[in-house]
């Protein structure tokens, strides 16, 4: 079921400052900011040869990233995203094994324009997992 690692998401307070660190200190290719109001975030993708880093900044008062940053004021890894061929089949298989899907359980369109859903961290070794259909 699980495919390649699509990205590692890092929550940050200041998106432009964080992007500057990756661009200037590490020489990474940095994409433009993308507002994702349905997810409550603004994101910037850092392109790496084998995957991506997704920098997440809160967008709006009810952003889940704002809540994350309250607990981790310096920011940090928020989630990992794995690719799957069929997100509905993956969801159904995982739910049949007892995994909890966050939200209403239905995929939403993510920052790459593809269906995504999130799995409860308590079911995956303390890590929030995002699945993205390829």
Q: Report the pLDDT value the prediction gives residue 52, as an integer from 0 to 100.
A: 97
**DSSP three-state, residue 29:** strand
**Which of these CATH numbers, 3.30.9.10, 1.20.120.160, 3.40.50.280, 3.10.180.10, describes 5-133?**
3.10.180.10
Q: What is the pLDDT of residue 41?
A: 96
- Chunked into runs of 10 residues, the chain (134 residues) has average pLDDT values of 96 97 96 95 96 96 92 96 98 97 96 96 97 97
Give long-range contacts, CB 8 A cutoff, 24+ apart: 16-20: 18/44, 18/55, 18/57, 18/75, 19/44, 19/46, 19/55
130 classed as catalytic: yes
Q: Give the pLDDT of residue 102.
A: 97
Q: Which residue has the tokens 């998106």?
A: 15
Whole-model pTM? 0.94
> Could you say which of 54, 57, 83, 130 is catalytic?
130
Return d(Cα 75, Cα 14) in angstroms, integer: 10
Residue spans per domain, the chain: 5-133
């Amino acid at each position: 079921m699980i495919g390649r690692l699509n990205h590692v998401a890092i929550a940050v307070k200041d998106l432009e400052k964080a992007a500057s660190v990756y661009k200037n200190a590490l020489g990474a290719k940095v994409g433009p900011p993308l507002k994702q109001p349905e997810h409550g975030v603004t994101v910037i993708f850092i392109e790496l040869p084998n995957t991506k880093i997704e920098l997440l900044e809160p967008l709006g008062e009810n952003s889940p990233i704002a809540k994350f940053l309250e607990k981790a004021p310096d920011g940090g890894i928020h989630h990992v995203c794995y690719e799957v061929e069929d997100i509905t089949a993956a969801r159904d298989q995982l739910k049949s094994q007892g995994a909890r899907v966050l939200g209403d359980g239905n995929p939403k369109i993510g920052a790459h324009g593809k269906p995504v859903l999130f799995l409860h961290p308590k079911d995956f070794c303390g890590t929030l997992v995002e699945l993205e259909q390829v």
